[in-house]
Amino acid sequence: MNKLHISTIINGDAQEFLCDPTATLLDVLRDGIGLTGTKEGCASGDCGACTVVLDGQMVCSCLVLAAEAQGRTVATIEGVAEGAMLHPVQRQFLEHGALQCGFCTPGFIVAAKALLDRNPNPTETEIRYWLAGNLCRCTGYDKIVRAVMDAAAELRQERMPA
């Protein structure tokens, strides 16, 4: 099988890789590039553990062919932090104890950041709706929702003029 040459931007960095035509974006991120923060939970797009942002849209990377990343921009959990500084969503997940085993956490954080990038002042209902594609078997969802609400408040405060 011929390999495909793919050029893309991942977390702000130009990347090139070779992949099989049937390789998923998840496979390439984890096994080809070494970005193992994105997790495979179900391989059918039902759990959200593999959530990434592709050209501004949340996608389950287990359902996207790696070839579809050609010429596009991908954001993963590794790109959420701003240098050594945790993003407010990450900080609030820690402060609220919104994680236990941590397997679903990358997908939730990527999804929550994508929501706050679009809507800096979501209601609780909007947060729950937005995160409905991400499943957690350990924490329940209340701590996660509260963490996102507080991250939204923190981001709004940061954006206010001094």
pLDDT of 27 > 90? The answer is yes
Please state the rounded mean pLDDT for residues 152-158: 94
Instruction: Provide the mean pLDDT of the chain.
Output: 95
- Cα angle 6, 76, 19; round to 5: 25
pLDDT at 156: 93
Which tens digits make up the pLDDT trace of 71-98? 999 999 999 998 899 999 999 999 999 9
For residue 53, is pLDDT > 90? yes
Task: Decide if 123 contacts 130 (C-beta within 8 A).
Answer: no
Which is the CATH superfamily of the domain at 4-79?
Beta-grasp domain (3.10.20.30)
Which residues partner with 75 through β-bridges? 53
Q: Does position 125 have pLDDT exceeding 70, yes or no?
A: yes
Indicate the pLDDT class of residue 140, thresholds 50, 70 and 90.
Answer: confident
Mean pLDDT of 48-57: 98
| CA pair distance 53, 113, nearest whole angstrom | 10
Pair of tokens at residue 16? 């090139």
* pLDDT tier for residue 158 given thresholds of 50, 70 and 90: confident
Per-residue pLDDT at 1 exceeds 80: no
Classify 115 as helix, strand or coil: helix
**How much is the average pLDDT of 110-119?**
98
pLDDT at 160: 77
φ, ψ dihedrals at 79, nearest 5°: -95, 5
Q: Where are the domains of the chain?
A: 4-79, 88-157
Does 88-157 carry CATH code 1.20.1440.120?
Answer: no
Whether this prediction's pTM lies above 0.85 is answered by yes
pLDDT of the residue at 162: 65
